[in-house]
Amino acid sequence: MIEIVSRGAEKAGGLGKLAAALGICHQSFYSWKKVPAERVLAFSIATGIPRHEIRPDLYASQGDDAGLDDGLPCSQSVARPDYGGVAA
C-alpha cells in the first residue's frame, strides 16, 4: 500500500472508514500506485491532507504560482486571455 494511503487511513480512523468515505472497497487501495485524480478531493476532505501532498504532480503547493489558485489541477489550468486593457 502506498504511504499516502497509510497516512490517510490513520487520519480517517482506519482503512475501512477511509474507503467508506470514498465510496470504494478497502481492497482497492492495494492496487493504487497513486491516488487516482478523481479521488483526490474526497481523499483530502476525508483525511485533512492537502491535495498537493496527495498528488504533487497535479496540484501546486501553497506558495507555488504566487497566489494563483483557480481550484483546478495544474494540468487543467486555463490561460486567461489578455484583451489589451479592454474588459471582456
Domains, the chain: 3-76 (1.10.260.40)
| C-alpha to C-alpha distances, 14 to 6, 7, 67, 76, 79, nearest whole angstrom | 9, 10, 34, 32, 40
Residue 43 burial (CB count, 10 A): 21
pLDDT at 66: 44
pLDDT at 67: 46
pLDDT at 10: 97
pLDDT at 62: 73
**Cell numbers for 1:** 500500500
pTM of the model: 0.70
Question: What stretches in the chain show pLDDT beneath 70?
Answer: 63-88
pLDDT at 58: 95
Q: Element (H or E) spanning 41, and its range?
A: helix 40-47
